Amino acid sequence: MPKVPDFLENINVKKFVLVHGEGFGAWCWYKTIALLEEAGLFPIAIDLTGSGIDLADTSSVTTLAEYSKPLISYLENLPEDEQVFLVGHSSGGACVSYALEHFPKKISKAIFLCATMVSDGQRPFDVFAEELGSAERFMQESQFLIYGNGKDKPPTAFMFEKQQMKGLYFNQSPTKDVALAMVSMRPIPLGPIMEKLSLSPEKYGTGRRFFIQTLDDRALSPDVQEKLVRDNPPERVFKIKGSDHCPFFSKPQSLHKMLLEIAQIP
């Protein structure tokens, strides 16, 4: 039997549930999954509805509840007394907040990775507004919109153009990972990121939240990330130097170390 690493003694919760952000899927966590498994932990990466290899049409996903359903089902089916660490990347942060509101007891710690850690009544899109302009303008003018229900109906999803995505998301990521992303990314449903979250002090407010900032991030600038933690302070903030918006590609070891460190906080 391999010897159990010492730090595992300090980690009571062994499951890490990994929630991808907009356009991504469970596949984006492949390095993190391997590192956590090698450390003797149990990562579970989830495809949200209409993401990754989930078969739903992205344009049919209109609410955050629908989008988060695979995550919520997973949490619902956990044994009564079992807890998990929940990690949300980018707009996946909204799904983590939503889960904290519905299952505060199941979540030992919530980790927001350069994520939309929204306040009560805020939309995930609002976090990106500095980069993308106001939601109203974006919905009218953006050339990236997809009209799944016809041009005469409101847009249902959007998808960045490849070159733009490379600049926004992958400015420090290895070319192999960028290539993987380019063939794997799917459109982003608009409904869930345009929805205002209702977060209560009694439920969401009791959760233990941690934020990991990425300091070379062009999709969610360090200033915006700083504002998020100022407006809605988590228990602790960690920073990954030299990471773009996708630390699971650009800084997998640093990210892994931080996840283990957060896991061990009593």
224 vs 218: CA distance, rounded Å: 10
Query: Does residue 266 lie within any of the structural domains?
Result: no
- 3 in a domain, yes or no? no
- Residue 73's pLDDT is 98
Q: Is residue 4 part of a domain?
A: no
- Counted domains in the chain: 1
The pLDDT of 19-29, averaged and rounded, is 98
**Active site residue: 51, 68, 90, 250, which one?**
90
Identify whether 1 is part of a domain.
Answer: no
217 assigned to active site: yes
Best CA proximity match to 49, nearest among 30, 31, 73? 73
Q: Residues 212, 113: contact at Cβ < 8 Å?
A: yes
Q: Of 20, 89, 245, 256, which is the active-site residue?
A: 245
Q: Which CATH number goes with the domain that contains 202?
A: 3.40.50.1820
| Per-residue pLDDT tens over the stretch 74-100 | 999 999 899 999 999 999 999 999 999
The answer, yes or no, to whether residue 182 has pLDDT greater than 70, is: yes
> Predicted confidence band at 160 (pLDDT cuts at 50, 70, 90)?
confident
Query: What is the average pLDDT across 12-28?
Result: 96
* Model pLDDT, residue 135: 66
Among candidate residues 51, 217, 250, 256, the one labeled active-site is 217
- pLDDT exceeds cutoff 80 at 239: yes
Read off the pLDDT band of 4 (50, 70, 90).
low
Do the domain assignments include residue 146? yes
Residue 100 in any domain: the answer is yes
pLDDT value, residue 6: 66
DSSP for 14-43, please give it. Answer: -EEEEE--TT--GGGGHHHHHHHHHTT-EE
According to the model, what pLDDT value does residue 1 have? 47
- Which helix (H) or strand (E) segment is 86 a member of? strand 84-89
The question of whether 20 is a catalytic residue gets the answer no
Structure confidence by residue, pLDDT tens digits, 106-123 = 999 999 999 999 999 999
Give the residue ranges of DSSP H helices in 39-123. 64-67, 69-76, 92-102
Domain annotation covers residue 220: yes
The reply to whether 90 belongs to the active site is yes
Strands 209-214 and 15-19, by their bridges, are: unpaired
> Given this model, what pLDDT does residue 7 score?
67
Residue 3 has pLDDT above 90, yes or no: no
Tell me the backbone φ, ψ of residue 16, rounded to 5 degrees: -110, 115
1-26: average pLDDT: 82
Strands 145-146 and 157-158, sheet pairing: antiparallel
Domain span holding position 196: 14-261
**Under a CB-based contact definition with an 8 Å cutoff, are residues 149 and 180 in contact?**
no
Does residue 81 fall inside a structural domain? yes
Read off the pTM.
0.94
